Chains A and B, each alone.
Chain A
Amino acid sequence: MHRVFITGVGVVSSIGLGKKEFFRALEHGESGISQVESFDPSALGRDVAGEIKGFRPEDHLTSAELKRAGRCSAMSLAAMRMAIRDAGIDEALLRGPKTSVVLGTTMGEADVIADLDHAWIAGGQTAVRRTLLPKYGSTLLPIHLARAIGAQGMVLTLPAACAAGNYAIGFAADLIRSGRADVVIAGAAELLQELQFSGFVRLAAMAPQRCQPFDLNRQGLILGEGAGLLVLESEAHAVRRNASVQAEVGGYGLTCDGYHITRPHPEAMGSIAAMRQALEHSGIGPDQVDFVNAHGTGTRANDQAEAKVIRDVFGGRRIPISSVKSMIGHCMGAASALEAVSCVMTLETGIYPPTIAYETPDPECDVDVVANVARRGKADVVVNNSLAFGGYNAVACFAKPGVLPHPASLPPRELAAQAH
Chain B
Amino acid sequence: MTPRAITGLGICSAVGIGREAFFRALEKPVLLKDAPHRPIASFDASKFEDAAVAEVPDFDPTKYLGDKGLRTLDRLTKLLVVATRLAAHDAGLKRDGAFVPPASPTNVGIVCSNAYGSLEAITEMNRVAVLEDARYINPAKFPNTVANSASGYASIWEELRALNVAVSDGNCGALDAVGCADVHLASARAQSLLVGGAEAASAALFLAFHRLGMLEAGAMLGEGAAMLALETPEFARRRGAKVLGQVLGFGTAFDAPDHDRQMIFASQDAMRRAIRTCLDDAGVNADEIDLVASGISGLRPFDMAELAAIHEVVGDRVCVAMPKGLVGETLGAGGAMALACVVGWLGGIAPSAIIAGEAPGRVRTALVTTMGYYGNASAVLVRAV
Q: Check if B27 is an interface residue, CB within 8 A of chain A.
A: no
**Hey, which chain A residues are within 8 Å of B133, CB to CB?**
43
Q: Is A133 an interface residue (CB 8 A)?
A: yes
Tell me whether A60 is interfacial, beta carbon within 8 Å.
no
List residues 232-286 of chain A with CB under 8 A from any CB of chain B: 253-262, 270, 273, 277, 281
Q: Nearest CB to that of A200 among chain B residues?
A: B142
Identity of the chain A residue whose Cβ is nearest the Cβ of B180 in the assembled complex:
A171
B169 and A157: CB pair below 8 A? yes
* Size band of the interface chain A makes with B: 35 or more
The reply to whether B152 and A64 form a contact with Cβ atoms under 8 Å apart is no
Min distance, Cβ B383 to any Cβ of chain A, angstroms: 21
Q: Are B163 and A160 in contact (CB under 8 A)?
A: no
> Could you say which of B48, B168, B207 contacts A139, with CB atoms under 8 Å apart?
B168
Contacts of A156 in B (CB 8 A): 167-169, 176, 180
Contact flag A195-B189 (CB < 8 Å), given A137-B170, A390-B148: no
Known: A151-B254, A254-B163. Is A125-B263 also a contact (CB below 8 A)? no
| Distance, CA A154 to CA B207, complexed state (A) | 29
Closest chain-B Cβ to A212's Cβ sits at a distance in Å of 22
Chain A residues with CB under 8 Å of B261's CB are 64, 67-68
- Residues on B with C-beta less than 8 A from A157 are 167-169
Q: Beta-carbon contacts of B143-163 to A below 8 Å, as 1s and 0s?
A: 101111101110110111111
- Identify the stretch in B122-130, B319-327, B355-363 within 8 Å (CB) of chain A at 4 or more residues: B122-130
Say if the beta carbon of B369 comes within 8 Å of chain A. no
Q: Tell me whether B183 and A410 are in contact (CB under 8 A).
A: yes
Instruction: Kindly state the separation between the CA atoms of A117 and B134 in the bound complex, as whole angstroms.
Output: 14
Question: In this assembly, does A317 line the interface, its C-beta being within 8 Å of a C-beta of chain B?
Answer: no
Residue pair B254, A175 in contact (C-beta under 8 Å): no
User: What separation, in Å, do the CA atoms of A136 and B205 have in the docked complex?
Assistant: 11
Query: Which chain B residues (175-228) contact chain A, with CB distance < 8 Å?
Result: 176, 179-180, 183-184, 186-189, 204, 207-208, 210-212
Cβ of B139 and Cβ of A203 under 8 Å apart? yes
| A 122-135 binary contact with B (CB < 8 Å = 1; else 0) | 10110010100111
Query: Does A411 interact with chain B (Cβ within 8 Å)?
Result: yes
Residue A61, interface by CB 8 Å: no
Residues of B within 8 A of A253 (CB): 189
- Distance of A404 Cα from B176 Cα, bound (Å): 30
Please give the distance in Å from A379's CB to the nearest CB on chain B: 26
User: Quick check: B256 and A390 within 8 Å, CB to CB?
Assistant: no
Q: Does A392 contact B (CB under 8 A)?
A: yes
Contacts of A143 in B (CB 8 A): 254, 374-376
Q: Is A92 an interface residue (CB 8 A)?
A: no
B131: CB under 8 A from chain A? yes
Q: Which residues of chain B come closer than 8 Å to A153, judged between CB atoms?
A: 252-254
Q: Which of A43, A167, A194, A273 has the most chain B CB atoms closer than 10 A to its own CB?
A: A167
Q: Is the C-beta of B47 less than 8 angstroms from some C-beta in chain A?
A: yes
Within 8 Å CB of B137, what residues of A?
Answer: 198-199, 202
Q: Which residues of A contact B116 (CB under 8 A)?
A: 136-137
Q: Is the CB of A204 within 8 A of B211?
A: no
Q: Could you tell me the distance in whole angstroms from the C-beta of B178 to the nearest C-beta in chain A?
A: 12
Asked if residues B148 and A152 are in contact (CB atoms below 8 Å), the reply is no
- Taking CB atoms, residues of chain A closer than 8 Å to B277 are 97
Q: Which of A106-114, A294-302, A366-374 contacts B (4 or more CB under 8 A)?
A: A106-114
Given contacts A121-B126, A256-B162, contact A155 B376 (CB under 8 A): yes
Please give me the residue from chain A that is nearest to B157 by CB atom: A258
A74 CB-CB contact with B under 8 Å: no
The reply to whether the CB of A314 lies closer than 8 angstroms to some CB of chain B is: no
Point out the residues of chain A lying under 8 angstroms from B212, CB to CB: 130, 133-134
A20 interface contact, C-beta 8 A: no
A133 to B119, CA, bound (A): 13
Tell me if A178 counts as interface (CB < 8 A to partner B).
Answer: yes
| Contact A390 to B149, CB < 8 A, known contacts A139-B169, A258-B159 | yes
B38 to chain A, nearest CB (A): 22
Minimal beta-carbon separation of B245 from chain A (angstroms)? 22
| Also in contact, A130 and B211, with CB within 8 A (given A138-B117, A155-B254, A391-B164) | yes
Q: Is B230 at the interface (CB under 8 A from chain A)?
A: no
Q: Contact partner of A158 among B126, B167, B207, B375, CB < 8 A?
A: B167
**B contact residues around A390 at 8 Å (CB):** 146, 148-149, 151-153, 155, 164, 166
With A137-B115, A389-B152 known to touch, is A199 a contact of B176 (CB < 8 Å)? no
Known: A117-B122, A121-B131, A143-B374. 4 other contacts (CB 8 A): A117-B123, A128-B211, A133-B212, A137-B168
Q: Which A-B residue pairs are the 8 nearest by beta carbons?
A: A390-B152, A159-B147, A256-B164, A64-B260, A117-B126, A199-B142, A198-B134, A411-B188
> Can you report 6 residue pairs joining A to B where beta carbons are below 8 Å apart?
A121-B126, A121-B131, A133-B208, A137-B115, A161-B147, A255-B161
Interface residues of A (CB under 8 A from B): 43-44, 64, 67-68, 97, 105-108, 113-114, 116-118, 120-122, 124-125, 128, 130, 133-140, 143, 146-147, 150-161, 167, 171, 174-175, 178, 194-196, 198-199, 201-204, 253-262, 270, 273, 277, 281, 388-392, 410-412, 415
